């Protein structure tokens, strides 16, 4: 072959070779990234409860199951890590509807002059580590009508206690909501249900010996201590029809959810 044709041919072969090598590397990178994202997604959703509505919404800092019938979440679930605990003071934002809810979450105006607070389920106080995390708790898919004295009283005490436990036990996992059963009062033009009771379930899975504590508290003023309202998580599952920790090993789940003891929890 004439030498004048050899060099261009070699250049062409090398160019094509580099093209396919780069394409192969890029494909591997994308595969690795996808696997990493899927793995992280799997880990972040490991403790999600089941949904009776089929409407699960995931935000950056909490997830929820929305009930269109009751215009509020049936549960909100999130991890409260020690590094999340912060005393940052941010300007309180306005409540906004959640665009991720296809039917649209209830408008905040339903609460206006209703006599009920817009009660956070993932508390703004648990998400002070950045403004974006804080602001995200002001979506109306994260609120439920709460008696003011309840919201500012025993419910606030339980939220503070949850932060205390997160600091003591290297983080906890929290599931909370109103019990949306029975003949419930409604407020506003969208008929937002007013739960008679609220629940909170807290899982400490940071050690070799995990523990769980659960509360059901009437949506009213009370001066009783928190430990008067401790129940077994099993009883909340029966009330709500929700399986709260389906991905825990059955033996561990059954043992933890059957307990109504405060043993191991520092009060």
On the CB side of 198, CA atoms within 13 Å amount to 29
List Cα–Cα distances, 220 to 112, 190, 194, 212, 244, in angstroms: 19, 23, 11, 25, 25
Residue keyed to tokens 């940052």: 88
Percentages of the chain per state (helix, strand, coil), in multiples of 5 = 40, 20, 40
State how far the Cα of 61 lies from the Cα of 231, in Å rounded to an integer.
27
State how far the Cα of 66 lies from the Cα of 126, in Å rounded to an integer.
21
Residue-by-residue DSSP string for 174-219 = EEEEE---SS-EEETTTTEEE-SEEEEEEEE-SSSS-EEEEEEEES
Catalytic residues: 120
State how far the Cα of 217 lies from the Cα of 257, in Å rounded to an integer.
18
Phi and psi at residue 184, to the nearest 5°: -95, 140
């Amino acid at each position: 072959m004439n030498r004048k044709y050899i060099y261009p041919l070699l250049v062409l072969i090398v160019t094509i070779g580099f093209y396919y090598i780069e394409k192969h590397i890029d494909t591997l990178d994308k595969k690795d990234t996808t696997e990493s994202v899927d793995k992280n997604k799997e880990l972040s959703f490991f403790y999600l409860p089941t949904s009776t509505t089929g409407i699960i919404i995931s935000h950056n800092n909490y997830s929820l199951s929305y009930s269109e019938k009751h215009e509020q979440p049936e549960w909100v679930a999130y991890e409260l890590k020690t590094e999340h605990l912060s005393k940052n003071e941010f300007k309180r934002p306005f409540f906004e509807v959640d665009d991720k809810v296809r039917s649209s979450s209830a408008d905040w105006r339903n609460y206006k002059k209703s006599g009920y607070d817009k009660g956070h389920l993932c508390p703004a106080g648990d998400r002070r580590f950045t403004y974006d995390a804080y602001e995200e708790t002001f979506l109306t898919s994260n609120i439920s009508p709460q008696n003011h004295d309840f919201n500012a009283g025993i419910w606030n005490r339980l939220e503070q206690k949850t932060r205390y436990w997160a600091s003591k036990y290297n983080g906890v996992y929290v599931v909370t909501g109103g019990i949306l059963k029975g003949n419930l009062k409604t407020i506003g033009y969208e008929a937002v249900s007013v739960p008679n009771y609220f629940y909170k379930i807290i899982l400490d899975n940071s050690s070799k010996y995990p523990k769980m504590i659960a509360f059901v508290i009437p949506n009213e003023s009370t001066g009783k201590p928190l430990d008067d309202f401790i129940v077994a998580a099993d009883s909340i599952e029966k009330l709500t029809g929700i399986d709260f920790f389906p991905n825990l090993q059955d033996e561990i789940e059954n043992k933890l959810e059957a307990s109504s003891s405060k043993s191991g929890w520092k009060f």
